[in-house]
Every structure is written in structure tokens, then in C-alpha cells.
Amino acid sequence: MTVTLADVAARAGVSPATVSRVLNGNYPVAASTRERVLRAVDELDYVLNGPASSLAAATSDLVGVLVNDIADPFFGIMASAAQSAIGEGATGRGGGEKLAVVCNTGGSPERELTYLTLLQRQRAAAVILMGGSLEDPEHLAATAGKLTKLAAAGTRVVLCGRPPAPGDASAAALVFDNRTGGRLLAEHLLGLGHRRIGYVAGPADRTTTRHRLEGHREALAAAGVPEGPTVHGPYDRASGHRATAELLARDPHLTAVVAANDTVALGVCAALREQGLSVPGDVSVAGFDDLRSPWTRSRPSRPYDCPCTRRASAPAASPCPPRSLLRAGWRRSRGSWWCGGRRRRRGVGAATSRRSRSPSRPRN
């Protein structure tokens, strides 16, 4: 027989309304009364009717986490950190628990809009959009419209790693300073004496790609160094492998390659080895993100470190990053939080000396 709310109330010796308040966590209840209700819930193995509760409260315990590619270690780490932060403080015995659902868009703008519609139907408590946005005015307008409707219905909206849509004041934005990251990577290689630098960029229609490439070009221009060849592609290892072959075909004398992210950098390293080139003996490779994932024997020379776990957990736990994030490089600008990342304090010298060198190949 199905256990009802009334059964829990009778076992705990309280009213059904008190049981509802304890399970929904939306009203103060005396600690002794709360414990008595939760003990009754455990003894009867009572499960709250989610759809009915959502209908009554006009919200649910669902949190949607939208990512471009769940197979990408970057998004896996971010989604995991967000889910951990969402569950902080929950006892598992009723009240405060949230169910995080990861929605993999595959980089498709249509899928992104579809997931937002589905989450609106489910009266999601919160929605977190991770990763760069498609630079298409029509899609940006459609996304802003969806987010405005979600916020109006009581859903908390957080943009993590993408700039806020123009005119959209309904979402909290945690925006990464990709321009600074791109500039620092290029400056590191320039400081080693590299002047022939290739670039494996992400998709040309993504904000993340444009901002990192702008920072890269800014550093080259400041140093008076001509821009090397650039090849665009997806943020995956296969793209790095294909692009490296094209870069070498366009300039066989490259002494360094900047990769859009660390996953792409792995493909770059593999392609260079196949060409009989060593990293960093012949070609230095710089990656973006500094993911704590298993590496092949050729690790990129300089990863630009933006702490994924901390930046993903911040929007889930709070609309404003804690002090630890401020110390790690977060900055507030025009209502949004920016993270420029930070260089690692440990291992920087070792990683640089092993995998980054001044160019030894002829530069002509």
C-alpha cells in the first residue's frame, strides 16, 4: 500500500501541513519536530510526490545543467563540481535536496533551446548554461527570451563561461577572461623566443574561440610579431590532430603551436610525434585549461590554468563567488563575475623547463 503524507503526519504526531513544510524546506520548523517528521519518513519509507509538489509550489527540485559536450573533460569536471555544490547541505532525508540533470547539447543551438523549453515545462528550480555561446543574433535573442521566461517563473538562471545576452538582466553571469588567457599563452611563448607560432582555434562562431584568439593576436601585435597560420575546428583531440597537419603544410618551420584547449593540445602533440617532431625539443605546445586528466607522454608546454572545479561550483552554490574565488582571480564588472584564472604556484618551473623551450628549429 502506498504511504501517504497523512500516514507520515500520524506517525510523527503532527499535521500534514507540518510534514509538507519539513519536506519542502520552505518554512521554519522546530528542530525536534523536524527530526520527528524525518524519522517517520525513514520508518515508513515515504517518497514525496514530485510532480504534485512541483504543481503546488510552482517549482521543482530539478536543476538543469546544459553543456556543449559531456565527453569533453572540461565539461565533465564542471558538471561534477556543480552537482556537488547543489547537493551541499542536503541530508538526503527530505528538505533542500536537488536533482541535477546534465543536458548534452552537442554544440547544437536547436538542442539548447529545446532543453530550455523542457526545463521550463518541468518548472526547474535552476538552470546553469556552461560554455561559450553561439555568436548568432537570432539564436542569442531566442535564448534570451527563453531565459527571461524561466526567470519570470521563478527559475534561477546562471551563465557559466559565457557572456550575458544583450539586454538580459535575468541571469547571473560568471564569465571567464578568455582574452587574458589567450594573451598570457602567447606572451609565454614569445618570452621563450618563438616567432613562428601556429594556432589551433575552436569553432569560429563561438564567443570562447573569438575571445581567446583576440588575446593571442593582441600579444603578437604588441611584440611586433606577424600572426602565424590559424586553423579552426571542434574542441576535440581529432581536430587538433587534423589542424596540426594543415599548420605544418602552411608553415613547415613553426616552432610553437597554441591549442584551443588541452584536449585539442593532445591531438597536436600526437600529430607532431607522427611527423617525427618532439615536444618541446622541436615544437613547443601550449594548451588552455590545465585539466587534471591523464596525459600522454607529451604534455603541452604551458597550460593556462582556470580552476574548473571552483568556477563551476560557484554558480550552483551562490550567485556570487566566495572569497577563495576572488583570491583566485575572479573580478566583478558590470554586474558579472570574471575569472582570469591564475598561473599555478606549484610545478610551473618544472613544467616549463621540461616542455617549453626556446626554438631550436630553423626559423628562416
Check whether residue 66 and residue 156 sit in a common domain.
yes
Q: In what order do the strands lie in the sheet with 230-232?
A: 230-232, 197-201, 256-259, 284-289, 302-305
Kindly tell me the sign of the dihedral angle through the C-alpha atoms of 289, 290, 293, 297: positive
Answer whether residue 18 is part of any domain: yes
Q: Are 119 and 127 in contact (CB under 8 A)?
A: yes
Check whether residue 169 and residue 185 sit in a common domain.
no
Highest mean pLDDT among 13-27, 52-66, 142-156, 213-227: 213-227
Is the confidence at residue 239, as pLDDT, over 90? yes
Check whether residue 17 and residue 165 sit in a common domain.
no
Q: Print the domain residue range for 141.
A: 57-176
| pLDDT per position as a tens digit, 69-113 | 888 888 888 888 888 887 665 555 555 567 889 999 988 999 999
3-state DSSP of 10-77: HHHCCCHHHHHHHHHCCCCCCHHHHHHHHHHHHHHCCCCCHHHHHHHHCCCCEEEEEECCCCCHHHHH
More confident residue, 42 or 321: 42
More confident residue, 212 or 174: 212
Answer whether residue 332 is part of any domain: no
Per-residue pLDDT averaged across 109-123, rounded?
Answer: 91
- Alpha carbon separation from 40 to 37, 62, 92, 96 (Å, rounded): 5, 25, 14, 18
Answer whether residue 360 is part of any domain: no
Q: How confident is the model at residue 347 (pLDDT cuts 50, 70, 90)?
A: very low
Q: What's the CATH number where 110 sits?
A: 3.40.50.2300
Is the confidence at residue 275, as pLDDT, over 50? yes
Per-residue pLDDT averaged across 188-209, rounded?
Answer: 93
Check whether residue 151 and residue 276 sit in a common domain.
no
| pLDDT per position as a tens digit, 249-269 | 999 999 999 998 888 999 999
Per-residue pLDDT averaged across 233-257, rounded?
Answer: 94
Answer whether residue 313 is part of any domain: no
Check whether residue 151 and residue 14 sit in a common domain.
no
Q: What's the CATH number where 39 sits?
A: 1.10.260.40
Q: How confident is the model at residue 133 (pLDDT cuts 50, 70, 90)?
A: confident
Answer whether residue 336 is part of any domain: no
Check whether residue 297 and residue 202 sit in a common domain.
yes
Q: What is the spatial distance between Cα 33 and Cα 87, in angstroms, rounded to a whole number?
A: 23
Answer whether residue 333 is part of any domain: no
Check whether residue 16 and residue 114 sit in a common domain.
no
Check whether residue 256 and residue 149 sit in a common domain.
no
Check whether residue 301 and residue 162 sit in a common domain.
no
Nearest to 172 by CA among 182, 180, 162, 181: 162
Q: How many domains does the chain have?
A: 3
